[in-house]
Structure 1
């Protein structure tokens, strides 16, 4: 699917493509395609909590579940993780600097 999207967009370099995902399968897809792999943590399927469930946690519990999910993405070899999509713009700047 990544290569089909690249073709449709006229992109020929995998280093110009970022796959944002909320599962380890998304990360593996990105790695297999040779594109940047980014795991988004809060609200992710990997975290396994609804927004309501997450916000019902104490701040310490939220921190623990964020760290656990981050480790899962890192163990899957994600290039980067972000807690929310609001961090994406700044991350794109970092990726573009590479």
Structure 2
């Protein structure tokens, strides 16, 4: 079984070219492998070669996670719900509700 030892890489437009040596079975053979770069951001890389899709993401440290994220507030369900009958008015830029038997509009 061969081992692929990557030694260099280069980028040409939207292509990533990886080069190195295939080591195995008492011989060493040079190779180059070319991938399409589907997505490249500061935190992720998506490569494609035919039907093969490879995704890579940068691993962040706990300090980076705590610095770059905002903790979400705990969502607590309502303790009591009410059923109300009335008229719901929905129009352009207008939302109103008039409870049945009342002259108040909310």
Compute the TM-score of the two structures, normalised by the length of structure 1: 0.22
Q: Which has the higher strand share?
A: 2
Q: Which has the higher helix share?
A: 1
Structure scoring higher RCO (CA < 8 A, sep ≥ 6) equals: 1
Compute the TM-score of the two structures, normalised by the length of structure 2: 0.21
Question: Which one has the largest radius of gyration?
Answer: 2
